[in-house]
Every structure is written in structure tokens, then in C-alpha cells.
A and B are shown apart, each in its own frame.
Chain A
Amino acid sequence: MDPGEISVEGVSRRFRIRAREVRTLKDLFVQRGQTEATDVWALQDVSLDVVRGEAVGLIGRNGSGKTTLLRIVSGIIKPTAGRVNAEGRIGSLLELGAGFHPDFTGRENVFLNGAIYGLRRADIRQRFDEIVAFAELEHAIDRPVRTYSSGMTVRLGFAIAAFLDADVLLLDEVFAVGDESFQRKCFGRIARFKQEGGTIVFVSHDASAVERLCERAVLLDAGRVAFDGSTREAIARYRRTLADETDPAERGAGLREWGSGEATIASAALVGQEGAERQQFLSGEPFALSVAVTASAGIPPPRLQLEVRDDSGALVAAQAVDLRELGWAAGNGERGIRFEIGSLPLADGRFHLRLGLTDESGEHLYHQLDDALAFVVYPDGEERGVVRFAGSWTLEEK
């Protein structure tokens, strides 16, 4: 196996829970024998292969085994059955914060963690300033970690994990604390880590965070893999299982697709520079939308409408194209349509794409997909806001 690959084969993990735990030798004498133990299987027959450079999200309800799986992959606990192999240097941030010694200063903890990750002192010293600057802890680095706020602890933990040349990053609820500007920085850093070929396994309750980071997600349910595939699908299923438990009346309400159906959108995908399908883009990158449309005989070529909205539902852009003008003479059969943008003019955020097929007048709706695709745009530099201005600055003599 190469560094950065993770292989999990048929892993199960049992925890023994006793009604009255024997925690001291005294108990051992006083209680005379153990109380009945119940076995709790936190994981059952979980298999998972992650290749180098992949970002995989782990989602699931509380107690579904996400953190246990992360701890097993990191090697902190061992599986009861099955095999785990994770190659390379593993940086982990489990249960809010890295392994810090509370009485050591931030500086000492950086070196301690670096040593645990197997870095030489000189290597750590070389990266030290970068770590401290990223964590924004210049003023507090020589104070003991126990005096840090939870946000400061996570910032330092994240900075250490992200800058110590790990091959694999295991992140557990990193974004539960930490303010928004730091989260933005983290996302940027993680995106860079991924582009440089790092592998990420990411646990979060926050579906949108998983969606922003991962193309692939694994849904765990009661310690088993319920789904392993695209993040969108995994999140949809996750929401469905949550909804199953909440309000059955709510289930039918989220209808996202309607229309009369003479023509339909068979599939839609966003394509990146390299031609592969994806959901994450850097601001200013080439961006393409590829849609397949099927139409039954007897209707004129339809119009394809496209709307982009941000997370709050505000309209960012809307466009339409008459497929006849693209050269589709008779409106039957199946066609692929491609919409390309050389440099994506969006800056930062999560966007939703609505696709619609109408007749030529735009009045009769054949098919509409309300939330056909969602994608995330990361700032490439210091951009903020929704839109990226592709302008240029000049200096004029006055």
C-alpha cells in the first residue's frame, strides 16, 4: 500500500458494558466476581477503501460508530475483528482538539505532537511559525494549553495536523467550535491539502460541511455501512433516515421535481477542468454543466432554463437556451447539452442549481428539477462574498 491509502476490511468493534464496573482492586474484592456484561457492537463488519487524495465523509446519527471508526483507523484502539491498514503519517483531530498535555505550553505541545507524528525537531522548528500564524496564537503560544479557550485549542490542533506533512487527516467535528473566519481558513487549508494529494476522513453532523469537503461519503447506521457513495446521495439518505424517525407527514413534503413529462432531464452533472464530475470548485476555475435531455416524439425542441441560487435562496444567475438554436431540429430522442464557463465568476459559498425544461414560449413546463445539483466554491485567494470580479487594477498618474 502507498502512503495515504486506507483499507478497512470487515472491521467490528465490541465494547463490554457492565452495570457496575470494577474500577478498583477494592471493587474486585468487595464485589466478588463480575456483574453480567452486555456487549455493545459499535461497529459491525465495516469495509472501506480510501485511495490517496480522496476525501471521505462519515455521516450518521449519534452512536452510529463514526468516532469509533475514526479511532480504529487512527490506530488508537484495535478492532475486535477484521483488519485495518492506514499507511503513512496520520494527523488526527479527535473529540475536539489534538492530544495536548494541558500543563504544557502551546509551543511545547507543538513539539510534542510533532515528535509523536515522527518529525524531527528541526522539521518542526521549520514549520513552527507557520503553525502559530495559522492558529492565530502568536500572543498565547507560551501559555499553558489549559488556559486556552476551546476555540484556541482546536485552532492549534488543526494547525498542527494540517502543517505537519501528514498523508492522512482524520477530522472529527472540527468545525463544532471555532468562529466563521477560522472555519473558512480551515476549509481553504483542507482543500489545498487535498489538492496536494492528501487523504481525508471527515466526521461531522453538519451535512453541508461534509458536502463542501467530500465527494464521497459513508453513511453509518448502528455500526454498519448503510451507504457508501456520492456525498449527495449519502446525505439524502441520512436525511431520510432522520425524517423517518421524526414526522412521517413531513416526508412527502420535499418534492423537488415536477412537470408534465413530455421532455425530461435525464441527468445533470458538473464537470471540472480535468473532465471529471465534481461538486467543488475553486473560484475562477473552468466550470462546465453537462445535461442530458430526453424528449418524446411530437414536441418541438424545448428550452432549457438554468438558475443558480445561493444557500439563502437568493437568485444569483438565471439563463435559458433554446435547444433549436443549438441545432436540435426535431424534439425527440436524447441529447447532451453542455454549458461551459472559462472562469467561474463565483467567489465563495454553496450554490444550488435549478434546471427546467419548457416549451418554446417558456410557459408550459415539461420538467423541473428544483435542487438538481449543489456545488461549493472555495475562494482561490482572498475573495469574499458571492461574486468574483474578473477586473484588473491600474495605477494612473494624476
Chain B
Amino acid sequence: MLGLAWSLLHPLVLMAVYLLVFSLLWRVAEVGSGDYWLFLLCGLPAWVFFATAAQASSRSLLENANLIRKVRFPRQLVPLSIVATHLVGFAVMLVVVVGLSLLRIPEARDTVWLAFPLGALFACMVAGVALAIASLNALFRDVEHLLTALLLPWFFLTPILYSLDQLPGVADYPAAEFAIHWVNFLTPPIEAMRDVLFYGELPALSETIYVVVAAVVALAVGSFVFSRSDDRIAVEV
């Protein structure tokens, strides 16, 4: 029980800090009718889940090198177990946010439950990314550092603090908007989740399709990359 609380601590502290800075102190933006802090909370769980799971799984194979070198077992389980651990935290955060949404935003009552299938699809995306990153980091040891360096800019290039269609400069830079919206594969699931949790709308069809396809593609690519490098992992970790 203590272990579970401990694993929830990191995401909760992260979320608390984001809330403190961006919602209470800074008071960034107007986001339509609702509270900004809830807007922020609708996007954060997915990001925190992705960032912590990707980072932890990138090191996972090296940390379990002793096991991998000496015992036969499906090595995919190493990064996947990390994802599963963080998935618990994600699920708890999601339940909390759903509860808050039900309390504060009556018009979202019909759509909030859609956050769970969206969350499940998102977990598939994270699992695929984790598989790929973990195996790549076993072959190229600086992948984890690269990932750490990337996460901060990536956070700002993902519409979590802001909503993409409410940025004043978006119309002038359609290329940037396109990149943030469609190249950054975190944007569609986060926007979709905010649609159902915060705005009480069904997610756009294009984003729904994107999330489903991305989940399948991520899993396929992740397991392909992993199984291609599986043998080298055992030799090189």
C-alpha cells in the first residue's frame, strides 16, 4: 500500500507544482467558461504518464541487465512492467479528474466516461513508445539523455497549458500549428481527453481516428523494434 502511495507521489507532486505555478500564480489564459485549474488537470495526467513512463523504461533494460544476461524470459516484460506501474498512477489521476469534472462541469456529464477508453488507447501508445525507447537505449546509451533533454521542450510544444485553437498567433503560423497538432502524437489524445472531460464534447472524428491508428502503429512499431534488437540486447546490456 505504501508502495502504491509512493509511486503516486511523483505524478501528484508534479501536478501540484504545475497547478501552483500556472493556475494560481501565473493565471495564464482564459479558457472559455470553466476553471483554468481544471482545464490544466484534464491535460496533465496523460503528459505526466507519458513522460515518467518513457523515462523510466528507457533505463529499464540496463537496470535489469543482470537478469537479462542470465535468464530466459520475454524481455519485453521489462519496459512493459514499468509502463504498467505508471499506468496505475495514470488511472488514479484519471479517476480523480473525472470526479472533479463531474462536480464542476455539469455539461460534461455525458462524455466524461469516454476518458477511460481514450486513456486505454493512450496507454497502448505509451507502451509502444516505451518498447522502442527501451530497446534503442540498450543499443545506444545516450538515448535516455536525449529523451530527458527533449521532454522539457516537448512539454511546451504540447497543448497542455494552453488550448491550440485559442492561441492568438496560430492563424499566422499554420505550419507550426500543424506540427504541434499532428506531428506531435501527444496532441490528439490530450485534446480528445480535454474535449470529453472539460468541454463536454465528443472528440473530433479526425482526432479519434488519429488516436486509434497511433495506438496500433505505436504498438506495432515498438514491438517490431524490440524484437529486431532482442538478441543484441541480451549480448550488449
**Contacts from A to B (Cβ < 8 Å):** 15, 22-26, 28, 71, 74-78, 90, 92-95, 97-102, 112-113, 116
8 A Cβ contacts from B129-151 to A: 139-143, 146
Find out whether the CB atom of A77 lies under 8 angstroms from the CB atom of B234.
yes
Q: Which residues of B contact A112 (CB under 8 A)?
A: 67
Interface-centre pick from B70, B73, B143, B235 (highest chain A CB count, 10 A): B70
Q: Which residues of B approach A to under 8 Å, CB–CB?
A: 64, 66-73, 139-143, 146, 231, 234-235
* B139 partner residues in chain A, CB cutoff 8 A: 23
From the candidates B66, B140, B146, name the one contacting A101 in the complex (CB within 8 A): B66
Chain A residue numbers with a CB within 8 Å of B143 are 25
Are A76 and B140 closer than 8 Å at their CB atoms? no
B235-A15 in contact (CB<8A) = yes
Within 8 Å CB of B66, what residues of A?
99-102
A23:B73 contact, CB within 8 angstroms:
no
**Which residues in A have their C-beta under 8 angstroms from that of B68?**
76, 99
Contact B67 A100 (CB under 8 A): yes
B71 to A113, Cβ gap below 8 A?
A: yes
Check B69 against A94 for contact (C-beta < 8 Å): yes
List A contacts of B141 (CB < 8 A). Answer: 23-24
Q: Tell me how far the C-beta of A112 lies from the nearest C-beta in chain B, rounded to whole angstroms.
A: 8
User: Could you tell me the dominant secondary structure of chain A's interface residues?
Assistant: loop
Question: In the complex, how many angstroms separate the beta carbon of A364 from the nearest chain B beta carbon?
Answer: 59
Are B69 and A76 in contact, with the CB atoms below 8 A? yes
Q: How many angstroms between the C-alpha atoms of A94 and B231 in the bound complex?
A: 17
B72 and A90 contacting across the interface, CB-CB below 8 Å? yes
**B235: which A residues are within 8 A, CB to CB?**
15, 77
Tell me which residues across on chain B come within 8 A of A101, comparing CB atoms.
Answer: 64, 66-67
B231 adjacent to A78 (CB under 8 Å): yes
Q: Which residue from B67, B71, B146 sits with its C-beta under 8 Å from A25?
A: B146
Q: For B140, what are the chain A residues with a Cβ–Cβ distance below 8 Å?
A: 22-25, 28
| Chain B residues with CB below 8 A from A77, complex form | 231, 234-235
Find chain A residues with CB under 8 A from B71 CB. Answer: 74, 76, 92, 98-99, 113, 116
Contact B72 A26 (CB under 8 A): no
Return chain A residues, CB-CB under 8 Å to B142: 24-26
Query: CA separation between A25 and B67, bound complex, in Å?
Result: 25
A–B Cβ pairs within 8 angstroms, 25 of them:
A23-B140, A23-B141, A24-B142, A25-B142, A25-B146, A26-B142, A74-B71, A74-B72, A76-B68, A76-B71, A76-B234, A77-B234, A77-B235, A92-B71, A93-B70, A94-B69, A94-B70, A97-B70, A99-B67, A99-B68, A99-B69, A99-B70, A99-B71, A100-B67, A102-B66
With A15-B235, A28-B140, A76-B234 already in contact, the answer to whether A95 and B72 are too (CB < 8 A) is no
